[in-house]
Structures are given as structure tokens and as C-alpha cells.
Structure 1
């Protein structure tokens, strides 16, 4: 695939360059990471920043799976404190502080209000959250406070006031998960790592002693096969860890079974506030959040055990109804199915049930490291907030397994690509951090790129060009789901943007009319899975005239 990205100025994060490097350099990597979600990217950043020769391979796009489908919270985990998992909460609160420190363009302090309909609950949760504050120590954001009824109504204008006694306000972190994943990939590249999306690991290489010595992989764009040697292979594939474990030892029992979490996205008018709503106990024992996110409201989540893992899981009717019904109990304007702009599902790894039972037990959110007899290192469990600590622990194991020279971890103070302190006047380009200047420079060079893709969203043609040249976007979905997030915010709007995005991408990547048509058709089919009613504007032919110079 020819790419104009090769012609772009100094793009260090370029798929074609990385593929060419694999073809022309026969080396033994220190570390090959399988999986490009939060865990794998964290491991790759840690390894590359220590100076190890690092390669990461992802079968789809970065954060395609669970890592783009979170509740968008960087938090210590209030419910883990209630469960008595004190060490996990300590760890997560420290990591929350480090993430705000290292990626302030993507992570910000978010106030949450728990409305209380009994004085006992207000006292109970108030005490717990005071402990939460205390545990954060120097990484504490702001002080938890008890609120009267009037103040709760002021902060949450849509809250149900019937029986309302007061509430509690506390502070946690919020972020854009897929944007952070892309920035971590860029950070890894800046540290000398090589990363490839749409590059599927198909098997493991082993030496004469049965030890893992690398991977077999296929470039899904060219169908070219590779054998890549490594001192250590790290399986960081989330709910797909069983697939890689089976490559190592086909007869072994599954390690994990997926559990599905669903979120629905509504118009911002359902919250009417920059303050998030937190419901501390739902009928299924989880917490439910309604969080302001990119000028919309994100509501979730659920916990539904499944038998199989999928890159594109589908929300179940019961899950959608549960979220709408539960949120509606706390809102004066109750959300209905017709109000849902997008619905998406993500999968968490649960420990697989023992034979003869159907019960599951969640793998500790403090993560789990497993080293096979073959030397294959598997890291699973955990959560976005603790991705950096998970990586640090994994590298400690990998250094021993691969007999690598010991080098200290530097990620606690490593600024993530795009690092920029928030500006006084917010701008929708703020999620790009320092890269926003590059997008603005692109528009200055080519003013026609300032045109919005559709009137309802501020995103411009320049962002599509940037995503291809500097963020390794290869498909419409990469752009609209994970670089811009529109698919997760409003699936109909994403469908309407698809033809323009396809035209720009085809121009950038040197691809055909047939590719454009296929991409648009595929994306419409995908985006309809994010809607509760089918929407198809019937784009019989993609506009073939590009407005991009």
C-alpha cells in the first residue's frame, strides 16, 4: 500500500516505514508484545523507554477492543474500597495522579455527585469517600464534601428530587481512552519502538528446548507472512489471551472468559451539567455512572458473562433496558430508547469457570502475571488506570525470562506524546494536546482542509489527513471510532461523515474508488450495530471528487 504519509514531514509513527524496517532488518527483538490495547501499549512504552528493542503487533487497530470501550474514568475504584481491596485502591490512586501529571491534555479532574435519598446512606458514603481522599495522599484531587438538597439540585439540575435528602461530591479522573492509546503508541515510537496495526500473530516460534523464541505473523494488508525472533514474547491480548496460550500449549484449559459491559450515549441535555452522576449501588451490585464526555452524556455500565470473545461485541436488549431504567430512576427527564445516540459494548476478562460449573470469578483488577514453562509471559486483568504499573511489573518478569540487562523503569515521569497543559479557553482540539498546533499548521497550508465533515460536529478534513499521516489510521472506522470518537458519540453522524472521510483517506493512501465504496459500505454496516434502529442513507456511490488538494 503506497502512502502519502511517507512524504509527510518527519512522521515518526508511520506504518509503511515500520513494515519496511521488518522486511530489511533481520534482528532478534528483545521484546515482542502481542496486543495493542492499554496493557500491550503500556508494556511497549516501558520496554522501549528502557532502551530494549521493542516490537508491538496488533491484529486490528490500537484499542479496537476493550480499551476504547471503557467508562472513560481514571479512578482509584470506590467500589474496590467498599470490597476491602485497600492495596489496589492505593495503587490506582497513585497511578491516577501520575496519569494526570503525564497526560494533562487527555486526563482531567471530574466532579461526581452521589445523590442521597436517606441520611444513613449520605453518612455511609461520605465516610467512605473521606477515606478515599485520605488514601490518595499527595495525589488527592479535591476534598470530598457533604451537600444539602439544594446544592445537589444546583449541580445536577435533572436529578429526581422526590425524597432527596442531600448528597456527596467527590473527585476522580476522566479521560479519552482511545486517544490515550494512540498517544501511547506514538510515545513508544518516539522511544525507538516499532508498532504495527493490522498485523496478526498466527503462531509462536520455539527453539530446540521448546522455549518461545519469537512469533509467526501476517500483515493483514498485504497478506505477507513473517517469522520474527525475540528474547521474550509477551501476551497482552486482553480477553483474547486464550488464543495465544493455545498457540503455546493447545490442550490447556481457557484462562479467561469474557464479561460484557455496555454503555449508552445521550444528548448532554439529560445531565445539564459538567458534574457527573454516580449511583453507588444498582440491582446487579455494580455502580452506574452518567458522565459528561465530549459534549454528550455517557451512561453505564453492565456486567454480563459471555461464552465467546469478539472484536465487535453487541449490546443485549436486557443491558440497554437496565441502563435506561436505572438511570431513569434518578432523573426527572428519563431517557428512552429513542434518545440513544450510540450504544457500545466492551469485554472484561474473568477467570474461566471450573469444569462442571458456570460460575465466574473476576480476575483481580490488580492484574495477574503468568509465565508458562515455555517462557511465554501473559499479563491479564487490571484496568486502564493501572496500565503503567502493570507494564512495570511485566517488564520485571520479562527481564528475568529473557536475561535482558537490567534497566530502571522511567515511565512514572515520562510525558506522554501530546503533553500539554490545559488552556484557559477550552477548544475541541485540546485532546490532541501539542499536536493541535500541527493540525492548525496543516489548515494554514491548505485552507480548504478547515471544512467541517458535517455541520453537527466540529471535526474538519484536516483531522482526517492528520490521522492518516501521523496516527496510523488505515480505515474509516479507525478515524471515526478511535481518532475522533464520533462513532461512540453519535453513530448516525458518523455514518453521514463516512463518504467524506473515505475520499480524503483514499487520496492520502493512494487507494481506489472500489476501496472507498467498500469502506463506506462496511462502515455503515458496523455503525448500525451502535444504533437501536437501522440507519442507511443509501450511499449508492461515494463522491469521487476529492476536496483535498
Structure 2
């Protein structure tokens, strides 16, 4: 069972009323991605009063565009970053335990086309197992040619020697973010999406709160807080600059953005329930082919990016790289016309003192910095370690004396909303989406109007109503991109579903829904650069 039996509604009018109440919060968080939501939940569980504002939708940026892997980071082990891998492996187990309906183990296979590849990579993966210890999900196995074909029936068999099988995890990133938000709200935190932080409030050189604006009504608010956390992901430097300007101090950028491109194709290209990992492509990069929600994700790239667009465009050479490398391993080579959706995520990599423009040398570890005024900035890291990052942030806050002595964190064993009882049967995340993604809230979903009426493949009217009533959804995009992942799975199918989703949202929210902006977005997700 989840920690709270009855979910809270996310009525917008009530959220705005609470936002307008005159009070001083212990903690104000700017940014509703994985990091900010993790901080809000940890703080609320420690008994702090918490408010979080997000300029767009929760997880709209980086946190809904991951490769969908909960992992320790095999390639980081190859780089010698043992501490990062050990921490991530521990967090992997914690996440799989606290949200088993949204995060689950997944077997991977590295096929070997040279005699030395299996022993070479296998030894490294056995070290991976050793670091995981009791947190391991399964032992590494050396596979012969026949067993490799059985696990990956659609890979090219010519010159195949065998392979190595190991275990990691996968998840639904956007739905997990929403569950974090809802779990924090159940603990008393106030979280408001589409509410942009427009400024910081300083008094006598110290940070005393923030100013924000409701993006729907244009109404402005001043939120008083004893501590403000900047968890804006790749956008943290803009807030740091505002903080520095208030005291006449210059700030150096902390973030060097990198983008990852993902292509989605049908399951026919990678049959079976194992993911494919190529640890070293022709140019030294890593290639994944991951079964996810009834489709296959191909990716990912790692390309420096200077601009911070909300919807970054894939580069033509990135798409070509993924398609060309996939063709070297899959019997049926994916072509441009086979791609159902293409999406891009920006990663907030921590900028080194000397930056040569190569993202391979930039740290994947997170950084927490406290300015002279008291602004706490957290950036870097990855989805898998969101909880550990939150613990670190609260620890730094206490060390800096911004808040009094805090209770110990309890997020390591706090099961998230919807988490089914331990031992309950779960449907694999590699299978098509459905009511199982709602965990023990599936019965509530089934009780809503339209539970048996489909508006798109694997999307019912009741799911749209659930999104509006309990999951902060405000638009067609919110539903089809993050509450249901149809935009990420099949952009054309998402466009076809938009009118029906708009009709239901208008009933639930009492406000008109324009389909044109979403149709333009779906066109972008369904179009590859030339």
C-alpha cells in the first residue's frame, strides 16, 4: 500500500490560494525536475514547511527526457569513478524498492563480435556486481552464441562470438517525477507548476525569499523563506546571476549543457525483453537499444550545446550516428521512416575550471554551492541519484546554518504514492503502458468516468481525468507527453489523440484547450532533421 490511502486533488484555484497566503516557509525550491522534487520531498518528510515553484510543467525539461535507465553507470566505472558508481548502485536499489510500479530491473546484453570482447567487458561487469554487493539485481553471465541469440533474437548473427549479460534498471522518468511531487504534497509541501520564479528577495545582503508569477493568470507573488534552493537544472546559472547582481558580485557559469538524442522505433527491431548495449561504437561512444513501454529507444548522443532551448532540436549528424550504429547490430536496420518519435534532453553537466569543450571530461557528479547571500544551488548528477542529491542539499543547508538542526532523512525507505505492496506482481516496463503504471491507485483510476473508453492506444478517458484531478495536468501536452508518454512513443498517434484529450480536459478544468500548439510540437517530435 502507498503511504497515503486517498490522493489529494491538484485543484489549481486552491493551490494559488495557498500560494497567496502570507507566511514564511522553511524552504523554497525553484525547479520542478528530479532534483527539486527530491529536495522538496526530503524536506517535507523532515517536518519542514516547503514551497516549490516550476516555470513550466514538472519534469518538462531534462527530467522527462532521460534514457529511462536506473543505473550505476558502467562507463563511469571504466573511467575509474568508483565512488559515483557505488553511490548510484545503492540508489538504484532504493528507487526500485520505493516505486516498483515505475522502476524495475532490466537485463542487458553486450554482444561480442571479437573473441576478446566477452572476457574484457565481462571482467569489468563482474567488478560492477562486486560494487553492488547485496544491492545487485543479478549476476553477470557469459553467454555463448546460441544464448546470445535467444536473448537478442534480432541482432546480426554473422561473426557473433557470444555476449555478456548483466542487470541494471529502467523507469518511467516523467511519471516518477509526478509521483515525487504528489508524495511531497501529501506530506504538506505546496508545489505549483506553471509558476515562474521572476526574482529573488534580499534583505541586508541575505536572501529572504523569491518573487514568482502564475503563468496562467499573470498574478505575482512574493514568497518568504528562510532558505531558497536553486534546482533549475541547466538553467541554474540565470538565478545565480540574479543573486550575484543583488550584491554586486560576478558569477561564473557552473553548467556546461550537453544534449542527448533518442529515437523511438517499434519493438519488431529488438524483440525479446533484453536491452542491447554497445559499450564502444565506431567513434568511442555508447549505444543503447532499450525496450520501453512497448517500443524501443535507440540512443543516446552526448553533444555540447551552447543554447538552452526548452525544446532543443536534434542535430542531423546525431540522428545519422544512431541510425548508422544501430544498423551495425540489428538485422533489420532502422530507417528514418521507421522512427516514431525523436526527443532531446539537455544534461546539466558540472563545468570544470578549464573547459576544453569535450563533454567526456565534464563531471557527471552533482555539485552543491552556497552563495554569500545564502542561495543554495544544486546541479549536475543524474536521475538515479536524485535522492542522494537531496540528502546532500539538506546537509549543506544545515552546515551553512541556514536552517536549525534537521531530523535525519527518511527517503531511503519511504515508499512513493502508488507503490504496490512488496511482493505484488508487476507488469514489465518493457510492455505497453496501461493501468499498471498507477500501482495501487489502479482501482481509483478504474472508478473514474471513461475507464473503458479509449481515446488513443493505451490511453483511456479516465487516465486523462486522473491527470487533471490528481496529477497537476493543465494542457494537452502535459497529458500526452508526461502523464501518458504517447508523444515520446509515437508522435503521430499523439497528434491524432489531441482533440479528444482537449475535450476531456475542458470538462475537467473548465478552461479551453488549444490544439494547435500541441500539434506543432508533435510535428517536431515526428520529424527528423535533414
TM-score over 0.5 for the alignment? yes
- After superposition, the Cα gap between the structure-2 partners of 1:425 and 1:258, relative to the gap in structure 1 and judged at 3 Å, is closer
The number of residues matched between the two structures is: 513
Deviation at 1:119, TM superposition (A): 2.0
| Partner of residue 184, structure 2 | 188
Tell me if the contact between 1:13 and 1:189 (Cα under 8 Å) persists in the aligned partners: no
| Partner of residue 365, structure 2 | 366
Deviation at 1:363, TM superposition (A): 4.6
Deviations 1:309-361 (A, max 9, x none): 12111111111111011111001110000000000000012344769965556
Deviations 1:13-70 (A, max 9, x none): 44332211122x2111101010000000000000001000001110000100011000
**2:145 pairs with 1:162:** no
Gaps of 5+ in 2: 1-5
Distance 1:284 1:380 in 2: 29
Distance 2:100 2:207 in 1: 39
Distance 1:22 1:453 in 2: 34
| Partner of residue 501, structure 2 | 501
Distance 2:167 2:403 in 1: 43
| Partner of residue 3, structure 2 | none
Normalising by structure 1, report the TM-score: 0.91
Deviations 1:258-286 (A, max 9, x none): 11100000000000111110001123433
- After superposition, the Cα gap between the structure-2 partners of 1:490 and 1:47, relative to the gap in structure 1 and judged at 3 Å, is same
The match for 1:431 among 437, 440, 445 is 437
| Partner of residue 415, structure 2 | 415
| Partner of residue 544, structure 1 | none
Tell me if the contact between 1:491 and 1:527 (Cα under 8 Å) persists in the aligned partners: yes
Distance 1:271 1:126 in 2: 22
For 2:345, what is the secondary structure of its paired residue? strand
Deviation at 1:219, TM superposition (A): 0.6
| Partner of residue 128, structure 2 | 132
For 1:435, what is the secondary structure of its paired residue? helix
| Partner of residue 15, structure 2 | 18
Distance 2:36 2:30 in 1: 7
For 1:419, what is the secondary structure of its paired residue? coil
Deviations 1:364-396 (A, max 9, x none): 323111111111111111000100000000011
**2:241 pairs with 1:246:** yes
Distance 1:356 1:110 in 2: 35
**2:528 pairs with 1:529:** no
- After superposition, the Cα gap between the structure-2 partners of 1:309 and 1:403, relative to the gap in structure 1 and judged at 3 Å, is same
The match for 2:454 among 452, 455, 459 is 452
Distance 1:48 1:205 in 2: 23
Distance 2:65 2:358 in 1: 25
Distance 1:102 1:362 in 2: 33
Tell me if the contact between 1:33 and 1:44 (Cα under 8 Å) persists in the aligned partners: yes
- After superposition, the Cα gap between the structure-2 partners of 1:21 and 1:264, relative to the gap in structure 1 and judged at 3 Å, is same
Distance 1:362 1:214 in 2: 36
Distance 2:7 2:348 in 1: 39
**2:66 pairs with 1:39:** no
Distance 1:64 1:73 in 2: 18
Structure 2 matches for 1:486-497, cutoff 5 A? 486-497=486-497
For 1:432, what is the secondary structure of its paired residue? helix
Gaps of 5+ in 1: 1-8, 535-549
Normalising by structure 2, report the TM-score: 0.94
Distance 1:155 1:22 in 2: 52
| Partner of residue 344, structure 1 | 343
The match for 2:221 among 211, 216, 226 is 226
**2:258 pairs with 1:259:** yes
Distance 1:131 1:476 in 2: 45
Distance 1:331 1:359 in 2: 29
| Partner of residue 473, structure 2 | 473
For 2:459, what is the secondary structure of its paired residue? coil
Structure 2 matches for 1:137-156, cutoff 5 A? 137-156=133-152
- After superposition, the Cα gap between the structure-2 partners of 1:101 and 1:357, relative to the gap in structure 1 and judged at 3 Å, is closer
Deviations 1:392-438 (A, max 9, x none): 00011123432323211110111011111552677721111111111
**2:62 pairs with 1:63:** no
- After superposition, the Cα gap between the structure-2 partners of 1:117 and 1:529, relative to the gap in structure 1 and judged at 3 Å, is same
For 1:203, what is the secondary structure of its paired residue? strand
My pick for the range that moved more, 296-305 or 418-427, is: 418-427
Deviation at 1:247, TM superposition (A): 1.1
